Amino acid sequence: MTSTVKIYHNPECGTSRNTLALIQNAGIEPTVVHYLQMPPSQDELRRMIQDANLTVRQAIRSNVAPYSDLGLDQEDWSDEQLIDFMLQYPLLINRPFVVTELGTRLARPSEVVLDILPFPQKGAFSKEDGEKIVDENGQRLK
């Protein structure tokens, strides 16, 4: 099926892998952006954060070394400064962001992506840890 779906993906992240698999379970082959190698532009990042109704602080990963090394927990950093750090150190960008014609979401947990997919699930889906998300009829379980 044709659809414009883009995922900012980190293949090392289970949530990102589960999100990509849910997109594919709807019969969609998304554009996959390996954002650690090819970060979004400043405008793209700002737009994704805004479109997902997040604050910049909600979109930044706080459990990685650059966050603590740079002292980003201090409240005096502006949003623009935080975005600059996120682009300089893409590991600071929380993931996975998914952009579709129906909206933008930070898919944490991965099933949040179901809210913005243009096509229904084609069958059952369980996360890598075995948690069932979609039943055999393609219906969301939670």
Catalytic residue positions, numbered: 13
Which H, E and C letters describe 67-101, residue by residue? HHHCCCCCCCCCHHHHHHHHHHCHHHECCCEEEEC
CA-to-CA dists, residue 27 to 6, 23, 60, 77, angstroms: 14, 7, 30, 42
CA-to-CA dists, residue 75 to 59, 72, 82, angstroms: 15, 8, 11
Instruction: Write out the two tokens for 59.
Output: 């979109």
